[in-house]
Amino acid sequence: MTKRLVLARHYLDGKGVAWPGFQATLAAPMTHDAGMLEEALSLLVAAREPAERLGPYLAALLLETPFRLPFVDPLRDLPVEAGRQLLPILARGPDVLRQPGDADAWAAYAESLLVACGAAVLPFLRLHAAFAATGDLRRLMTLRGRLIAQAEGIDDWYPGRPAAGQPIRLGLLTGRIDDRPNTRFLLPHIDRLDRRRYRVFGYALGGGEDGMAALFRSACDRLVRLDGMAQHDRVAAIRRDRLDILLIGGNVAASVDPLCRLAAWRLARYQVLLAATPVTSGLASIDHVLVGTETPQGADTQCTEELLRLDRLFCCFDPGVPRAASEAPSRTDFSIEESAKLLLSTASLTKLTPACLDLWLSILETRADAVLLLAPFNPYWLGDTPPRTALAAHLADLARRRGIAPYRIRLAGPFTDAGTVDALAGLADLYLDAFPYAGCTTLLAPLAAGVPVVAMVGDSQRGNQAAALLSEAGRQGGIARDAGEYRRIALDMLGLPRLSEPSGGFLDAADFARSLDVALSSMLAANAAGEDHGDHAR
């Protein structure tokens, strides 16, 4: 019997709980035993006292992923120590999406956890896997936002109306300003604006002072480092600048980190969420979300914010300073021969849905000379200890079910820098984008390297961003409307030579600044008119 089965049997026989042993066993590979799981669930239902439920519940957690089990409130139905130990485990979410519907199931489970446990679960809740869900996440995120506001003790501060004729005071709040993909995404939001019309304030919670940080600093009239400040000091520092608009320049939906906590406060007259957050924030402090022509009509029904729409693609990227790979990869590093057709995806782990992997494996099934290389361990999402072993075992199992030799699927990373991940594109014959949560910054390297890219059209901003990026780059031939077309395009593209370096709106900082100015000015004018007529209240 495996470690999990032995300990599960121990709990089912009522032999007591040793928390260190439970925690250590959870790190062992999952083992399923249908009979033992049925026994655990039966005992769980029959238990009359909360203490009687602990053993069967722990046994069930050893035999199945938490969000696939009947929901148990760890704070109400189990002993206090059990809640303390279990909350971080239950709130982590799946690292690997193993079954169809896992992303939606995790989102529903996370909502139940928030209802049952309230703000106590917020420090541990990781919603990354929910972004691949196909359902509406507004209710989940609204509940989360309300609990964050309660935990923060948000006040009712609101700035007065600005003096007429003054430049627009625009702030950009971000977690870090050093050389990361997000900084290259953020910089065009400020560096080409007309400084006769805007005064720009940058606010950074961290990050080193490298070349990219210097570019960011130079684009601001004033940069405020918030590192090391207490929360109330951060709030006060931003409020003192009496901003008309604050752009929220990071992902505030994945976890309740310092950026999310700060964005939950009213810091400016109007607060605008950028596409770095892939779903609605649920935060009452955020008024608008900036989107582009790629966002389908009707997407506002999935947002707690009002849509603020550009007349172009939602994003632009500043190439910034040249970025070298500290670990220059080669095919030899992965034991892939030069004659093989190399399919590459650097999509983050929680974007690798069962449907996505199944489609990619069907391509391998058809092309015996193809190898799939995945680099899904994005350190900005998954932390320092990504589940490489678990993912490798899962991929090998999927391959064997299809009759594909597991060695035809290779894992790369985790790497220490984004430059090495970008360099992988130079090895590939074809780049495969994930779905239904599509990529954006991950497409830049293959496009720059001339690698053909195939992506799927989606029905939301996060689902449609890759297709929009390909369209802007003049690569419409790589855009698929369904799985069958995706597969056909991918197989056809495997014979294509390298393409020319792309151009398009995602590299046109001047046009992005023009469109952003129009959108922000229109928002201010509309809100001012509403205030004059008494329609805008806080």
Per-residue pLDDT of 393-406, as tens digits, reads 999 999 999 999 99
Query: In the sheet where 306-309 sits, what is the strand order?
Result: 222-225, 198-206, 168-176, 243-248, 268-273, 288-291, 306-309
Q: Are 351 and 439 in contact (CB under 8 A)?
A: yes
How would residue 162 be classed by pLDDT, with cut points 50, 70 and 90?
confident
Contacts of 392 by beta carbon, 8 Å cutoff, 6+ apart? 411
Contacts of 42 by beta carbon, 8 Å cutoff, 6+ apart? none
Fold of 331-505: Rossmann fold (3.40.50)
pLDDT (mean) for 308-313: 94
Q: Is the pLDDT of residue 309 over 50?
A: yes
CA distance 285 to 259: 13
* Size of the chain, expressed as the number of residues it contains: 538
pLDDT (mean) for 310-337: 82
Of the candidates 499, 493, 487, the residue with the CA atom closest to the CA atom of residue 356: 487
The fraction of the chain above a pLDDT of 70, given in percent, is 95
Residue pLDDT, tens place only, 66-114: 999 989 898 888 888 898 999 999 998 998 999 999 999 999 999 999 9
Residue pLDDT, tens place only, 471-487: 999 999 999 999 999 99
Q: Is the pLDDT of residue 226 over 70?
A: yes
Instruction: Establish whether domains 168-319+511-532 and 331-505 are of one fold.
Output: yes
Q: Is the pLDDT of residue 384 over 50?
A: yes
Of the candidates 145, 142, 167, the residue with the CA atom closest to the CA atom of residue 245: 167
CA distance 529 to 406: 62
Q: Is the pLDDT of residue 461 over 90?
A: no
Residue 233 burial by CB count (10 A; 0-12/13-18/19+): exposed, middle or buried? exposed
Fold of 168-319+511-532: Rossmann fold (3.40.50)
Domain boundaries, the chain: 3-138+147-152, 168-319+511-532, 331-505
Beta bridge partners of 372: 343, 409
At 182, list the tokens.
Answer: 């997000």
Q: Please name the helix (run of DSSP H) or strand (run of DSSP E) that holds residue 521, with its range, or none.
A: helix 509-532
